[in-house]
Chains A and B, each alone.
Chain A
Amino acid sequence: MDLAHLAAGIGAGLTVIGGGLGIGKLASSAMEASGRQPEAAGAIRTSMIIAAALIEGMSFFGLVICILLALKA
């Protein structure tokens, strides 16, 4: 056990916090928008999924670095 494992764990936690906050905020805005304008729900859902995928991609970059750190140790 050395610092790389600790770094990987802390990094994974921080990444999940960031990704969760981002997707949570996105979903809350999308829900609000489709609540205000139910006829546009389909278009909002599509763009929400695209944005969620992009946010998710960013957090996966972080997680991959964490995996590399954990495997290196």
Chain B
Amino acid sequence: MDGKVIDFAPFGELHIPQIPKIFGLDITPTKHVFFMWLAAILLIIIMTKVAKGYKHSLIPKKFSGFFEIMIVFVRDEIAKPTIGIGYEKFLPYLLTAFFFILFGNFLGLIPYSATFTSNIGVTATLAAFTFIMTQFGGMRQNGVWGYCKGLVPHGIPLWLLPLMIPVEFLGLLTKPFALAIRLFANMVAGHTVILALIGLIFFMKTIFVAPVSIGFALFIYLLEILVALIQAYIFTMLSSLFIGMAVHQDH
């Protein structure tokens, strides 16, 4: 669903200007890149506005108050219970990831737009950031050697070590992989189901399927609003959980 043309079906289309290849690599922005930049710009504008709202008084205005609910939710429901002591250091990353994914998911629900979170490259990069945060967070708290030693559960017999070390190492890499696949598949699935339902009309070549098709597509669309919220929550929650497990290894 990615492409170099932003399509406004009956009203024409917008061609993204091409950039000459550098070292044989095509670095022209695609649809997804365009919407990712849009989300980033929106986030910068909105969050600066929200932060400015606290300059005069700590009581938020209407606009800031709406975002304060979500920010406090991430702090109190996600970061605090899962990371525990020292959660403040990871809060900026978690908030950034949460709002970036949330904006991406919701931008994709606007007609004629594209969901950049349904691109495996984007989700894999986000998961890689979580992986880096997890490793460095754990190493800073426990020391490099202490962290590596803590990966393998203590109290196991010595002859099990050659088996346990590769398994634990693989487990380390599986977590961000699952994180990337989960967000990617969830965002692709909803759009694909809508496409299939709408495609049913053209496949059967009759207009009588249309009411059923559109009805189901609308239902899936409403479900996608829910999924957009839940996936942003899940990604942040699991990131926070992994960070918490790396920082406080003893339990």
Contact = CB atoms under 8 A, between A and B. Distances in A.
Interface of A: 46, 49-50, 53-54, 56-57, 60-61, 63-64
B185 A53 contact: no
A53 B182 contact: yes
A61 B77 CA distance: 28
Interface residues of B, number: 13
Given A50-B237, A61-B181, A64-B181, 7 more contacts: A46-B77, A49-B233, A56-B186, A60-B181, A60-B185, A61-B178, A64-B185
A60 to B, nearest CB: 4
Interface in B35-92: 77, 81
A54 B178 CA distance: 8
Nearest to A52: B234
A70 to B, nearest CB: 12
Given A49-B230, A49-B233, A57 B182 contact: yes
B237 A60 contact: no
A49 B237 contact: yes
B241 interface: yes
26 contacts: A46-B77, A46-B81, A46-B237, A49-B230, A49-B233, A49-B234, A50-B234, A50-B237, A50-B238, A53-B182, A53-B234, A53-B238, A56-B182, A57-B178, A57-B181, A57-B182, A60-B178, A60-B181, A60-B182, A60-B185, A60-B186, A61-B178, A61-B181, A63-B185, A64-B181, A64-B185
Interface of B: 77, 81, 178, 181-182, 185-186, 230, 233-234, 237-238, 241
Contacts of B241: 50
Contacts of A64: 181, 185
Contacts of B234: 49-50, 53
Contacts of A53: 182, 234, 237-238
- Please name the 10 residue pairs, one residue from A and one from B, whose CB atoms are nearest each other, closest first: A60-B185, A57-B178, A53-B234, A57-B182, A60-B181, A60-B182, A64-B181, A50-B237, A63-B185, A53-B238
Contacts of A57: 178, 181-182
